Amino acid sequence: MKVLGINAIYHDPAAALVVDGRVVAAAEEERFSRRKHGKRPLPWSAWELPELSAAWCLAEAGISPDELDAVAYSFDPALMSTPEQSGLFDDGDVMRKMYAEKAPSFLAHALPGLAEEKVRYVQHHVAHAASAGLAAPESSNSVLVLDGRGEAHSHLAGRYVDGQLEVLAGQALPHSLGLLYEDLTDHLGFLRSSDEFKVMAMASFGKPRFVGELAQAVRATGDGGFRTEKVDFAEFAPRLRAGDEWTQDHADLAASVQQRLEDVLLDLVRWLHARTGDQVLTLAGGTALNCVANTRIAAEGPFDEVWVQPAAGDAGTALGGALHVARALGDVTQPMPGADLGRGWSDEEIEAVLVTASVDYERPRDVADTVAETLASNGIVAWFQGRSEFGPRALGHRSLLAHPGYEANLERMNDVKGREQFRPVAPMVLLERAPQIFSRGPIPSPYMLFVHDVAPEWRDRIPTVTHVDGTARIQTVDRADEPLVARMLECFERRTGLPIVVNTSLNTAGRPMVDDPRDALECFGSAPVDLLAIGPFVVRRPKATPRPA
Ligand SMILES: [Fe+2]
């Protein structure tokens, strides 16, 4: 069966293609349209479809729209509650419902040859659940969807047994841990549905001194659900506008909400485990990108193993929706092979772009060693290799790399990316070396979705990636999965004694991650990056940037 998955209703529009139960392609629309998050999550943008990523998925597999067996649309308008029933009083829902009902005809228009009746609605949280439970390596698992909102709910607890989902609980709106966190994001002057990770970063600078006051408003109810009553955050710290300086009160508020979130999640996880007794927990939904909470779930929760969908936000529902429908049509689905499900380029295609741009480039004997040499001398490297990542994290395919041994490199990297100085950057580390340096969070951690404690004797050796609280959000690199990245790390260790490199996403402020070779050249041309390693080629910046000692 050939099933295309579409996410369009709220944010992070994306497409994914599942052929005979295998995920063959998945990509977010922002990588094509070059508009961060694809669109703003507003009611009147609900009609906008991931047209470019959908067309690419089909082209990648050599399939025309009329050959599709089904299209999974990850939202079911028939299940929506009214603005009054949901308690959100969101008038925009009328428009969302109308656009979702029209989605089959919009899709048939966007993908000529597709018959409207091939489009199937998949409940939003079932699509999220499938992106975890069906995409994870273990086919039987408990699943928790932690979201802002779906049609009428904000969460789902259930389990997959041999690929079949049993739903055990779902919290009805307006109670929503995701919306609570979004409200706080907005209160702190950041962009709702986009900048929640900045709140998590800010929380690490604060003390959770307001948790007592929040305990009644934000709590688990003991039946698999929870309550999130409206909180007037201004009682704890005044509202900020974009760009305002935050104070200790703001950090303390962020830390307090973060802790309540973690405590409630742990209650939900324990309830689910008591029902299923499973070994493996899988997570999806935007809140599952909260790697601090994920780490507490893994470290303190009852499950032996926690697997988080790398595209845990709404983009992942394209993939989950497609897997769910493929199952419903009788296919045996396979776990996702990795996060590198986006566009890739042959050496010849890359070289043609370099020739067109008329830049000087070389083809070194070993690009991994050339990159390690530049990093060892404290240069910054733009690393463009293989297929792009599905989800918000750079995982060694569209990455910006640096030496982790210089404290000044944190500010330098944040300057390159034009972003706030309190934002941490993360390390990638060879898998077999990780346990000597990092603890508490699970290892392996290939998708950068947990935080780890940095061993005290290592903190001064890797100050760029050691956060203020002594933690780091690591990506472990297994040479079986990522041989080129692993070799680069080995070459870097030979030169410096450090099996770790700073890894952040290859983009500049406000722009989506680089996706195609031209994006890479544009990014390289506009940012103080010393070397672009693109496929087997390297492009050097003619005049090296000043390097802090
Ligand atoms: Fe969602």
The per-residue pLDDT for 547 is 64
Dihedral sign, Cα of residue 93, residue 94, residue 97, residue 103: negative
| Distance from residue 5's CA to the centre of ligand 1 (Å) | 14
| Distance from residue 459's CA to the centre of ligand 1 (Å) | 36
| Distance from residue 365's CA to the centre of ligand 1 (Å) | 45
Specify whether the CB–CB gap between 16 and 318 falls below 8 A. Answer: yes
DSSP line for 244-305: PPP-HHHHHHHHHHHHHHHHHHHHHHHHHHHHH--SEEEEESGGGG-HHHHHHHHHHSS-SE
| Distance from residue 279's CA to the centre of ligand 1 (Å) | 25
Measured torsion, CA atoms of residues 506, 376, 452, 255, in degrees rounded to the nearest 10: -60
Specify whether the CB–CB gap between 535 and 350 falls below 8 A. Answer: yes
| Distance from residue 544's CA to the centre of ligand 1 (Å) | 44
| Distance from residue 230's CA to the centre of ligand 1 (Å) | 20
| Distance from residue 75's CA to the centre of ligand 1 (Å) | 9
Q: Kindly report, residue by residue over 246-263, the tens digit of the pLDDT.
A: 999 999 999 999 999 999
Contacts of 274 (CB under 8 A, 6+ apart): none
The per-residue pLDDT for 545 is 56
| Distance from residue 95's CA to the centre of ligand 1 (Å) | 18
Q: Kindly report, residue by residue over 427-471, the tens digit of the pLDDT.
A: 999 999 999 999 999 999 999 999 999 999 999 999 999 988 899
Q: Kindly report, residue by residue over 487-541, the tens digit of the pLDDT.
A: 999 999 999 999 999 999 999 888 999 999 999 999 999 999 999 999 999 999 9
The more confidently predicted of residues 40 and 141 is 141
DSSP 3-state of 108: helix
The mean per-residue pLDDT over the stretch 82-110 comes to 92
The per-residue pLDDT for 421 is 73
The per-residue pLDDT for 510 is 81
Give the span between the Cα atoms of 138 and 71, in whole angstroms.
25
236 pLDDT tier (thresholds 50, 70, 90): very high
Q: Kindly report, residue by residue over 171-198, the tens digit of the pLDDT.
A: 999 999 999 999 999 999 998 887 888 8
The mean per-residue pLDDT over the stretch 108-136 comes to 97
| Distance from residue 287's CA to the centre of ligand 1 (Å) | 9
The per-residue pLDDT for 195 is 86
Specify whether the CB–CB gap between 71 and 110 falls below 8 A. Answer: no
The per-residue pLDDT for 546 is 60
The mean per-residue pLDDT over the stretch 100-121 comes to 97
Helices 124-133 + 316-328 axis angle, to 10: 90
| Distance from residue 316's CA to the centre of ligand 1 (Å) | 9
29 pLDDT tier (thresholds 50, 70, 90): very high
The mean per-residue pLDDT over the stretch 112-124 comes to 97
| Distance from residue 38's CA to the centre of ligand 1 (Å) | 15
Residues with CB under 5 A from ligand 1 (ion): 147, 314
| Distance from residue 415's CA to the centre of ligand 1 (Å) | 32
Contacts of 140 (CB under 8 A, 6+ apart): 159, 160, 161, 162, 278, 280
Q: What are phi and psi of 111, to 5 degrees?
A: -120, 80
DSSP 3-state of 544: coil
Q: Kindly report, residue by residue over 72-94, the tens digit of the pLDDT.
A: 999 999 999 888 888 888 888 99
295-323 as b/e: b if 16+ CB within 10 A: bbbbeebebeebbbbbbbbbbbbbbbbbb
Give the span between the Cα atoms of 342 and 391, in whole angstroms.
10
The per-residue pLDDT for 117 is 97
pLDDT of 549 strictly over 60: no
The per-residue pLDDT for 353 is 98
| Distance from residue 438's CA to the centre of ligand 1 (Å) | 31
Give the span between the Cα atoms of 480 and 484, in whole angstroms.
10
| Distance from residue 286's CA to the centre of ligand 1 (Å) | 6
The per-residue pLDDT for 548 is 62
| Distance from residue 149's CA to the centre of ligand 1 (Å) | 6
Give the span between the Cα atoms of 110 and 544, in whole angstroms.
46
| Distance from residue 423's CA to the centre of ligand 1 (Å) | 25
Q: Kindly report, residue by residue over 198-235, the tens digit of the pLDDT.
A: 899 899 899 999 999 999 999 999 999 999 999 999 99
| Distance from residue 124's CA to the centre of ligand 1 (Å) | 6
Specify whether the CB–CB gap between 406 and 425 falls below 8 A. Answer: no
- State the burial class of residue 545 (Cβ atoms within 10 Å of its Cβ: 0-12, 13-18, 19+): middle
| Distance from residue 39's CA to the centre of ligand 1 (Å) | 15
The mean per-residue pLDDT over the stretch 373-399 comes to 97
Give the span between the Cα atoms of 156 and 488, in whole angstroms.
41
Region for 79 from its dihedrals, namely left if φ exceeds 0, alpha if ψ lies in -120 to 50, beta otherwise: alpha
423 pLDDT tier (thresholds 50, 70, 90): confident
| Distance from residue 180's CA to the centre of ligand 1 (Å) | 14
The per-residue pLDDT for 304 is 97
| Distance from residue 155's CA to the centre of ligand 1 (Å) | 9
| Distance from residue 262's CA to the centre of ligand 1 (Å) | 19
The per-residue pLDDT for 295 is 97
